[in-house]
Structure 1
Amino acid sequence: MTDMNVDWKKTALLVIDMQNDFILPGGPMYIPMGASVVPAIKEAVDFAREKGAFVVWVVREHDKYGRDVELFRRHLYGEGKEKPTTKGTKGADLVEGLVIQEGDYKLVKTRFSAFFATNLHTLLQGAGITSVVVVGVQTPNCIRQTVFDAVAHDYYPVIVLSDATAAKTPEVHTALCYKHSVEDFFCLTANLIDMCNVGVQTPTLCAWSGKDV
């Protein structure tokens, strides 16, 4: 992808769930591969800002009593529990190195999809956004559901940066390898393959930013 193919003013970069409780070892929702994509996400954010794209930080923030949490996770919010990504706690903060800046937007969600029961679609429409790029964690849950909802809302193109997203285990994130160029092989997950099948683009960060051209 190059600048000729992208209207950056109509593009939003959605950074999904890059919070301490997901990324740091020992966190109640720890995703072992999450920390590995922090540098790529930082680079993607810097590049998006440089191009004038709209950066949206999508985070989970829950009520300390778990009243807004999915039913299957309510048990994590009982007395004496760790209560993941509770509003106002360090666990809900963005991981070190990722910072919300002037002009960015913080969007709070309480379900997997960034579109479900939030103002995201209205926000993007108001900002003139027609295309979304998704990075963060984790691939089969919040990334996948956000992407499928973006397709359903007719954003185009919908893009997932394959090396700036992560799943909980290598087995989940590595299912099929194919040749990207003469020197480079990289892997798609079964989830990313499913996304490709509904028209989603899954370039590497370098391909998206034009650095491999």
Structure 2
Amino acid sequence: MDSMESREEIYEHAGMTENPIGFGERPAIVVVDIQNGMTDPDNPLGSVLPEMVEYANEVVRAGHEADVPVVFTRTVTKHPDAADMGVFAEKIPALKTLQDETEWTEIDNRMDVDEADHILDKQQQSAFHGTELHSMLTTLGVDTLVVLGCSTSGCVRATVFDAVANGFRTIVPVEAVGDRSTEQHEANLFDMGAKNADVISTADVLDYFHSQ
């Protein structure tokens, strides 16, 4: 392999080019950690992501209109020292701010949360790790996950990886995910699109839901 090859050439050489898998028959939406602790810069974990929140809410509203299951995840610790997060909180001590029943674990009020939506609390990056998500999606007959939220390089990516590993077609709407780092956001979108998910425009996702 030539060390001067571009990123695109390297991935093409490995056969990791755009290979759309598309939507299945029964989608669900997983909204990853659009909670105050991640979207309010007063928290050390928080970022200013107004456009991401707006796009994400458009997808949620379209999902509601199409009668698609919607799951909102929250990263929450229920121990004073975040012992339930294990090494994750040792690596990122600011996670200890995400104490249960505080403002930081509340879903951002710009999101339209319906009473039928499921709120899922997690202690690790992936929405699948140690949670009821997989069994619930299987019971609902879901075959496709639309994953959105934050952060692209962290909890979104981990959830996407586990979604694919568990056999779900996985879709990531570009504008409906966000990160505290533009560089990491773009790099992880590229990588997920090459290896795991269909990374497509939010407009295309909305068109899909509106066609249901």
The reply to whether residue 91 of structure 1 matches residue 104 of structure 2 is yes
Higher helix proportion: 2
After the TM superposition, which residues 57-136 of structure 1 pair with which residues of structure 2 at under 5 Å, given as runs?
A: 57-63=72-78, 64-74=80-90, 83-136=96-149
Q: 1:207 aligns with which of 193, 204, 208?
A: 204
Counterpart Cα distance in 2 of 1:161 and 1:46: 14
Q: 1:39 aligns with which of 45, 49, 54?
A: 54
Counterpart Cα distance in 2 of 1:36 and 1:198: 26
Q: 1:163 aligns with which of 166, 171, 175?
A: 175
Conserved? CA contact 1:138–1:165, under 8 Å:
yes
Secondary structure in 2 matching 1:68:
helix
Structure 2 counterpart of 1:185: none
In structure 2, what residue type is equivalent to 1:198? K
The reply to whether residue 193 of structure 1 matches residue 193 of structure 2 is no
Compared CA separation, residues 22 and 199, structure 1 to 2 (3 A)? closer
Unmatched runs of 5 consecutive residues or more in structure 1: 174-188
Secondary structure in 2 matching 1:163:
helix
Secondary structure in 2 matching 1:62:
coil
- Deviations 1:59-80 (CA, angstroms, capped at 9, x unpaired): 1110233111232524877xxx
Structure 1 counterpart of 2:18: none
Counterpart Cα distance in 2 of 1:198 and 1:171: 18
Compared CA separation, residues 70 and 52, structure 1 to 2 (3 A)? same
Secondary structure in 2 matching 1:197:
helix
Counterpart Cα distance in 1 of 2:86 and 2:168: 27
Counterpart Cα distance in 2 of 1:134 and 1:75: 25
Tell me the C-alpha RMSD between the 2 structures. 2.1
Conserved? CA contact 1:76–1:84, under 8 Å:
no
Aligned residues: percent identity? 28
Conserved? CA contact 2:160–2:196, under 8 Å:
no
- Deviations 1:55-103 (CA, angstroms, capped at 9, x unpaired): 00011110233111232524877xxx89322100011101121143122
Conserved? CA contact 1:57–1:105, under 8 Å:
yes
Aligned residues: 186
Compared CA separation, residues 51 and 6, structure 1 to 2 (3 A)? farther
Deviation at 1:7, TM superposition (A): 5.7
Compared CA separation, residues 195 and 76, structure 1 to 2 (3 A)? closer
Secondary structure in 2 matching 1:83:
helix
Conserved? CA contact 2:74–2:119, under 8 Å:
yes
Unmatched runs of 5 consecutive residues or more in structure 2: 1-21
Compared CA separation, residues 14 and 113, structure 1 to 2 (3 A)? same
TM-score of the pair, normalised by structure 2: 0.80
Compared CA separation, residues 90 and 7, structure 1 to 2 (3 A)? same
- Deviations 1:4-43 (CA, angstroms, capped at 9, x unpaired): x7566x11100000111110121131124x3331111111
Structure 2 counterpart of 1:20: 36
Conserved? CA contact 1:15–1:57, under 8 Å:
yes
In structure 1, what residue type is equivalent to 2:45? M
